[in-house]
Chains A and B, each alone.
Chain A
């Protein structure tokens, strides 16, 4: 699985958009970008994933650059409850055999301030 690089921490004001970057310069053509987040003392929660087109769901938007070497997770109107560690993971969704594990880095601690 491709390695990802994320900032250690970021701050955002409540009500403003939070833009979380992720670099994945060694991503291969069939690898997807997944985002999970982990609120303190809870299990990780799936947010969104994408291959090359921008994606949006009820939680967030995912913008992937044209060369696919980086992406940005956007929380359009951050709330205090969005304070969490956000993980960017790159992998092939169904790589065949039995390889389904997710490889987590340390992620980005997003702190939403009142």
Chain B
């Protein structure tokens, strides 16, 4: 059973460019969340998707957008990249089954460097 998979593992972009990160959730999971983790900090919630819609959003600008596909996989898009967007981007999946107690499973992340 594959866990949460993210691609690519590393990415280098320049300021002003756009980037797309991808996530496949753990088998049986229908909800995907994205987190940004700056160096030395804990992960910060960006947004969450289920049923192909954004359901909750953290304190991130509109430059951050996402999408969820019918197979539950998800993309995170960041436009007009800034140096401060350099971080580890984490995808987490879960099932909304109440018995699962909101346990979330994380991928290994995509390391984005903006030069």
Which A residues lie at the B interface, using CB under 8 A?
32, 34, 41-46, 49, 85, 87, 91, 93-94, 98-107
Contacts and interface: CB of A to CB of B under 8 A. Distances in A.
Nearest to A87: B42
A75 B40 CA distance: 23
Contacts of A45: 106
Nearest to B103: A46
A100 B42 contact: no
Interface of B: 4, 31, 33, 35, 40-45, 48, 50, 55-56, 58, 90-92, 94, 96, 98, 101-109
B74 to A, nearest CB: 14
A38 B40 CA distance: 12
Contacts, number: 66
A49 B58 contact: no
27 contacts: A32-B101, A34-B103, A42-B109, A43-B92, A44-B43, A44-B92, A49-B101, A87-B42, A91-B102, A93-B101, A93-B102, A94-B101, A98-B48, A98-B56, A100-B31, A100-B96, A100-B104, A101-B48, A101-B56, A102-B33, A102-B43, A102-B45, A103-B45, A104-B42, A104-B43, A104-B44, A106-B41
A49 B101 CA distance: 9
B106 A98 contact: no
Contacts of A93: 98, 101-102
Given A94-B101, A101-B56, 18 more contacts: A41-B108, A43-B4, A43-B109, A44-B106, A46-B103, A46-B105, A85-B42, A91-B102, A98-B55, A99-B56, A100-B33, A100-B94, A100-B104, A101-B33, A101-B45, A102-B35, A106-B42, A107-B42
